[in-house]
Structure 1
Amino acid sequence: MAPPNIRPLPEHLQEVAIKELNERPERLAEDLEALKDWAIKQPHLNVRLDDQLLVAFLRGCKFSLEKAKSKLDWYYTLKTKYPDYYTLQDPDVPHIQDLVKYGVGLALPIPLNETGPRIVFSRFGIYPIDKYKLKDLLATAFANFELEIRLDDTAVVNGFLNLIDVGKVNAAHFAQFTPHLLKKMVAFLANAAPIRLNATHFINVPASFEKLYNMIKPTLTEKQRNRIFLHGNNLETIYALIPQKYLPKDFGGENGCIDELEKSTFQLFLDHRDYFKEDVKYRNNEELRVGQQPDYESLFGMEGSFRKIDVD
């Protein structure tokens, strides 16, 4: 059996992968082959049989083959069913650079405490609502997420945490936070994403945002609620959880400048333009699925309350 075509992990990440993710380097090729064989045999699936991508699913599922199968299926199911939300088909389209400038899903260069989870910074509320919708920004965020899966071993092994500035969110922006949209965000993180979300920190939180969160809170699992933190304009409350040096320079830290991160992120999209353009070939054919289709109506329907989704 040929060795896997993946990057070797740095020693500190390999240690975490073995101790916390149940990785066994000596059988990595065998585990990858098992996941590939399963994917090939599913008549509805057409996934990238890329070792670096697939090992992220195994690591993100702590090498449970059954969980990795489920997440891989959901990953391509969501990309097929809702391409406007979960895919970026062409980074050369002029407005993509515009969207990246609104600061969604920017990976900060230094992990938490140097060797911990990746910190991902986002800003909601600075985009012109007469020109863009929140779902437009999410497409770039999910595209960035896919590159993280393939390129960032720190995020794959140690997970990531969200740092989200909502200080400029106004009533018009709030109107775009529909249950329909929020369900798509939660469903992706819970059912499809192979990278572990350690925590989400909202900063510069206005009272109106707290009201929105309190409406959503009952629909979340206890584990999800325990990973969400709201901070006001005084950032002192966050320093116990994220020391100041790990915040962007724009917030008094030492962890990258937002303007520079926006430029480097857009350049990363351009550098992978062929990957994104090719990616549209990898989509499900649900007519060939054996067994029950996912219940999109109950999961994403506008009526009723959120369906609770368990997240590992």
Structure 2
Amino acid sequence: METKTLMLPSPSSINQIYTELGTSETKLDLDVKILKEWMRKQPHLPNPDDDEKIIDEKRLKTFLLICKNSLEKTKVMLDQHYTIKLSAPEYFSKWDPTSPEIVKIMKLFCYVPFPNPTHEGHRVILHRIKTEDANNFVYDDHIKLIFMSLDIRVAKLDTYNKEIILYDCNNLSMNHVAAIIPNIKKVFESVFAAFPLRLHGIHIINTNSFVNPLINLSLSIMKKKVAGRVINHKSIEELKNYIDPSVLPLDYGGTYPKTSDEIIDDWHIELKKHREWFITQSSIVADNSKRPINSNNHLDNAMEGSFRKLDVD
């Protein structure tokens, strides 16, 4: 579903994505039917036929695409997606974009997709603290806003090839870093259990020396292949060497006819339009009391001991 805040890749770009993954719109529709039938047979997972707990077919298609058209990998991710919510309610419960807590964190932080995709169909995401003042910054709420934005893209609003993260450290203070580091283990475990992700690149700008421990910790989690896609830029101007200017807003050296603040405001309005959907989604979780004995909970290995290397393509 294309909106004014999120333009989809061109039909030719989408067809190219399908071709690279060996699928098509017809095959995706067939695979979605297979996944829904599989979910009906999993008593611990939400029933896709339940009118009160709508399972968006768009979510199933997006999971399939990001899982490289593998039904088995998609089944694992769907199981994890609904199960991880039980382990991290501070991130996945009470999703209401109009609540005082979320409205406040929207003023302090953003995790926002840029409206235009790249020519390859990648989606660029801006991750930025909006003010150096960390006194009112609630870490769990900022993670919740990330997951809300990611979830509605996956389930309703977006089609894309891979993700490109633009991490702007301009207002990141020592107090922010101090709040992030102790929690980063659970956040990484949660996001990569809940969502399949394919990262094309991570571009970091406006760093300071005290941000380095956070960057180094993040790099230590990543597989070498993924860590090699992290670029710490000396200036915003360098971004145009990696991201088409038509995607970047005016204040990031691009030609998209809005500033990042205008794009952020538009996206937050978009989130608020889907308030009822968010409230419903945050209540859809697995019921492990109904999990069959022979059902393998893949989170057992992912969430215990030292956390896994960042496993994204």
TM-score, normalised to structure 2, is: 0.84
Q: Are residues 1:169 and 2:175 paired?
A: no
CA, structure 1 residues 310+280, in 2 after alignment: closer, same or farther (shift >3 Å)? closer
- Aligned partner letter, 1:273: R
Whether the 8 Å CA contact 1:103–1:121 is kept in 2: the answer is: no
Q: Shift of the alpha carbon at 1:57? A: 1.1
Counterparts in 2 of 1:38-117, with a 5 A limit? 38-46=38-46, 48-87=54-93, 89-113=95-119, 115-117=120-122
- Aligned partner letter, 1:253: G
- Counterpart CA distance in 2 for 1:117 and 1:88 is 30
- Counterpart CA distance in 2 for 1:251 and 1:11 is 27
Unpaired runs of 5+ residues, structure 2, are 1-7, 48-53
CA, structure 1 residues 87+161, in 2 after alignment: closer, same or farther (shift >3 Å)? farther
Corresponding residue of 1:240: 241
- Counterpart CA distance in 1 for 2:254 and 2:17 is 29
- Counterpart CA distance in 2 for 1:111 and 1:215 is 29
Q: Determine helix, strand or coil for the equivalent of 1:202.
A: strand
Q: Shift of the alpha carbon at 1:204? A: 0.4
Q: Shift of the alpha carbon at 1:12? A: 1.3
Q: Determine helix, strand or coil for the equivalent of 1:27.
A: helix
Q: Which runs of 4+ in 1 moved over 4 A?
A: 298-301
Corresponding residue of 1:196: 198
CA, structure 1 residues 127+149, in 2 after alignment: closer, same or farther (shift >3 Å)? farther
Equivalent residues, number? 297
Unpaired runs of 5+ residues, structure 1, are 1-7
Whether the 8 Å CA contact 2:95–2:148 is kept in 1: the answer is: no
Q: Shift of the alpha carbon at 1:127? A: 6.2
Q: Determine helix, strand or coil for the equivalent of 2:215.
A: helix
- Aligned partner letter, 1:231: H
- Counterpart CA distance in 2 for 1:23 and 1:194 is 18
Whether the 8 Å CA contact 2:80–2:299 is kept in 1: the answer is: no
Q: Shift of the alpha carbon at 1:13? A: 3.4
Whether the 8 Å CA contact 2:93–2:283 is kept in 1: the answer is: no
Overall identity of the aligned pairs, in % = 29
Counterparts in 2 of 1:128-277, with a 5 A limit? 128-155=133-160, 158-179=161-182, 181-232=183-234, 234-255=235-256, 256-277=258-279
Q: Shift of the alpha carbon at 1:251? A: 2.4
CA, structure 1 residues 168+26, in 2 after alignment: closer, same or farther (shift >3 Å)? closer
- Counterpart CA distance in 1 for 2:285 and 2:237 is 45
Q: Once structures 1 and 2 are overlaid, which stretch shifts more, 162-171 or 283-292?
A: 283-292
Whether the 8 Å CA contact 1:105–1:120 is kept in 2: the answer is: yes
Q: Once structures 1 and 2 are overlaid, which stretch shifts more, 134-143 or 99-108?
A: 99-108
Whether the 8 Å CA contact 1:106–1:262 is kept in 2: the answer is: yes
Q: Shift of the alpha carbon at 1:101? A: 2.7
Q: Shift of the alpha carbon at 1:224? A: 2.1
Q: Shift of the alpha carbon at 1:237? A: 3.3
Q: Determine helix, strand or coil for the equivalent of 2:108.
A: coil
Q: Shift of the alpha carbon at 1:220? A: 1.9
